[in-house]
Structure 1
Amino acid sequence: MPRLPNLKYPAVVLAREAMATRFELVLPGTETARLRAAGEEALDEIERIESALSLYRPDSEIARVNSLAARQPVKLSQPVFRLLQQARQLWQETRGAFDITIAPLARCWGFLGGAGALPSPAALAEARQIVGMDLVELDDGQGTVRFQRPGVMLDLGAIGKGYAIEMAVRQLGDCGIANALLHGGTSSVHGLGHPPDDSAWRVAIEAPAALAGGKALPLAVAPLVNEGLSVSAVWGKSFAAGGRTYGHILDPRSGQPADSALLAAVVYASDTEADALSTALLLDGKTDHDRLAGLRPGLKTLVLEKIGADGRPQLTTRGKMINFHPDA
């Protein structure tokens, strides 16, 4: 979805595989050794965060919570506990559209480590009984987490990548880096400062193939200056059944895949919050765009709804962040 610029200046470019995706870092400049050292520290920070948040590593903090928290309070490190507090606040502010207890539903739909499959009504009903942040008790004084019933699971996939990028960018700043571009896969990118030849990092959001006539055309371009861009879309991990396509982004309140919008994008200073809010916006942007866009000062948003009255997808935005493709 985001497409990165072609480089026309000297830069150090680093990459690292983490969180089941490829992170790439662009550091403009000619001080190769200093830039490389700073960049490696930033990518190391992403790996450290993955080791704490991964659902699939048995020794991670989140795996330990999922294993024990239904039976006893589980003490967490301060950074992870603060992230859970932030996730709880975002759950409240988005009225449940963003919810880190989504894992039982993702497993029910076959997306937890799989390609997806239709669940039975009984299995879906059972999964819905153990989803909801109201089933998670955070003891702010003790720094512990406990589940109210067995089967509850945390999955920070809708916030973890943004958090990792935000912490890596902070690490770059601690190393004296003023300008850089860091992206994680196709959904999250942060522009620190600006490139040598422009006033902002200009990142393209790719248009759906049907809207672009099968061509690789940008839906919009987001200029980033000390901001992150997060894009959530219904395509990507999905499967077809009965003439319908089911995507991996699920509504934790209904248990059903997102179906009111094709794509949502958020630009904000906090990559963590942009990541979470783009998920909420994909689910509720068609009916609740104004309220969600007003949750933070300076938040900039885009929603591509499925079909308008003229039979074409409808694009709506809040906040001036985008140069639009003329055919969008």
Structure 2
Amino acid sequence: MRIFSRQIASLALTIAISGISIFCSSQEREIQRMQLLMGTKVEIIAQGKKEDILEDAVDKAFKDIERLERKLSRYNPDSMISRINQSAGESPVRVDDETFMLIQKSVEVCAQSNGAFDITILPVLMLWKIDNDNPVPPDDADVKEKLKQTGCQKIVLDEKTHTVFLPEKGMGIDLGGIAKGYAVDSAVRVLKNNAVRSGLVNAGGDIVVFGARGKGMAIGIQHPREREKIIAKIYLSDGAIATSGDYERFYIYNGVRYSHIINPKTGYPVQGEASVSVKADSCLVADAWSTALFVMGREAGMKTLQSHPGIEALFIGPSGSMSATSWFWGQVSTYNISGISGRD
């Protein structure tokens, strides 16, 4: 079942484990489990002393992701997000602390990115019908009309009453660009609170690694056009990384590629970068900013990152050309693949 804004697909980031020693000592156990949640493959690796405790912790982590999926998916008519959308132009909706925080964070990233990340893009996104059979781009007039119903600055958040209000009929929000990252963070908290010493949660390329030994976990970044090839590899011992790209959900019409990531300023799918990977302390931040930077493009994105020192980014163009912040260049190993032009 499709829940968030990305279908089940091969991962933008792949996991390369060079033996169990990355996480485990000889006295420790490791388990690996996978489930289909939030419209993607969710993988959990957990390491600790007792296997039964690890199994219980992983079960709780998956249940936590299921809980968030039920609450935050716009595809679930009973979710908090659906209730907010259904009440647009009519009345505020009281939400729980978690939902309020996520919407508040979304509005903050929207402001910090000058509108490149905008959860109110839903009315325009629906026009493009990315997931339909034989989709056709919408008329320009329809796009312009739906753009009038967007704008994160319109969202009314009342901290005293914990209510969210979309003031115009037809408005709608979609947390697909931030909720999956938050769900990964939340699952990691569950694991840590249940005696898991180290491990990984990977939700379709939104990844958190914690407690890895040595150089850490080797994470391969896929070529944006040749999905079976790895264009670069980084190592992560503690932290989060997420990737947004034009190859997860898209269609080609009259020779033009239309992806599911919409530029909130134009109402059209983003043209320019093929993917942007972001490393941050939390997957919530990495998830949201990978979308924002993908929309902004490398020139504006690199300039914006100068005022956000905790965020690192790797931009990859359709041909494989790369631009990156210093952390990525210090970590990344690139591969000599045909069609890749290296650093920009």
Q: TM-score, normalised by structure 1?
A: 0.91
Instruction: Go from structure 1 to structure 2 and tell me whether the alpha carbon gap of 1:102 and 1:114 turns closer, same or farther (over 3 Å shift).
Output: farther
- 1:112 to 1:252, Cα distance in 2 relative to 1, 3 A: farther
Shift of 1:71: 0.3
Contact 1:103 1:112 in 2 (8 A): no
Q: Which residue of 2 aligns with 1:289?
A: 301
Q: For the structure 1 residues 113 and 89, does the alpha-carbon distance in structure 2 shift closer, same or farther, using more than 3 Å as the test?
A: farther
Distance 1:158 1:116 in 2: 22
Does the alignment pair 1:324 with 2:325? no
> Do residues 192 (structure 1) and 210 (structure 2) align?
yes
Would you say 1:65 and 2:84 are equivalent positions?
Answer: yes
Shift of 1:12: 0.6
Q: Give the alignment partner of residue 268 of structure 2, picking from 256, 272, 282.
A: 256
Counterpart residue number, 1:231:
243
Please list the CA deviations of residues 65-89 of structure 1 after superposition, one character each: whole Å capped at 9, or x if unmatched.
Answer: 1111320111010110011111110
Counterpart CA distance in 1 for 2:235 and 2:111 is 30
Aligned to 1:220: 232
| Contact kept? 1:17, 1:23, Cα under 8 Å | yes
Specify the SS of the correspondent of 2:297.
helix
Q: For residues 199 and 157 of structure 1, what CA distance do their matches in structure 2 show?
A: 32
Q: Is the alpha carbon distance of 1:112 and 1:5 closer, same or farther for their aligned partners in structure 2, counting shifts above 3 Å?
A: same
Corresponding position of 1:2 = 13
Find the aligned partners of 1:159 and 1:114 in 2 and give their Cα distance.
Answer: 27
Shift of residue 223, structure 1, vs aligned partner: 1.6
Question: Partner residue of 2:339?
Answer: none
- In the TM superposition, what are the counterparts of 1:1-328 in structure 2 within 5 Å? 1-6=12-17, 8-9=19-20, 11-29=30-48, 31-111=50-130, 116-185=135-204, 187-195=205-213, 198-209=214-225, 214=226, 216-306=228-318, 312-321=319-328, 322-327=331-336, 328=342
Structure 1 residue 324 displacement after superposition: 2.7
**Is the Cα–Cα contact under 8 Å of residues 70 and 149 in structure 1 kept in the other structure?**
yes
Q: Deviations over 1:115-168 (max 9, x none)?
A: 743001222112111111122111122211111210000100011100100111
Letter in 1 for 2:156: E
Q: CA deviation at 1:21?
A: 1.2
Tell which deviates more after alignment, 81-90 or 313-322.
313-322
Provide, for residues 165-198 of structure 1, a one-character-per-residue CA deviation record: whole Å limited to 9, x for no partner.
011111111112221111012x311111105xx4
- 1:135–1:152 Cα contact (<8 Å) kept: no
Residues 116/164 of structure 1: CA separation in 2 closer, same or farther (3 Å cut): farther
Match of 1:223, as an amino acid?
A: Y
AA partner of residue 293 (structure 2): L
CA change 1:180–1:113 in 2 (3 A) is: farther
Q: State the shift of 1:238 in Å.
A: 0.8
Q: Distance in 1 between matches of 2:99 and 2:219?
A: 30
Alignment: residue pair count? 316
Q: 1:5 to 1:29 in 2, by over 3 A?
A: farther
**Matched AA of 1:100:** I
- What root-mean-square deviation, in Å, do the aligned CA atoms of Structure 1 and Structure 2 show? 1.8
The answer to whether the 8 A contact 2:53-2:195 is kept is no
Structure 2-normalised TM-score? 0.87
What amino acid sits opposite 1:143 in the alignment? H
> 1:261 aligns to what SS in structure 2?
coil
Q: 1:190 corresponds to which letter in structure 2?
A: V
* Contact 1:264–1:303 (8 Å) recurs in 2: yes
Cα distance between partner residues in 2 of 1:123 and 1:317: 37
Runs of 4+ residues over 4 Å off in structure 1? 112-116
Secondary structure (helix, strand or coil) at the match of 1:283 reads helix
Report the Cα distance in structure 2 between the residues aligned to 1:124 and 1:131, rounded to whole angstroms: 11
Long gaps (5+) in structure 1: 307-311
In the aligned structure 2, how far is the partner of 1:112 from the partner of 1:141? 39
The Cα shift of 1:114 comes to 6.6
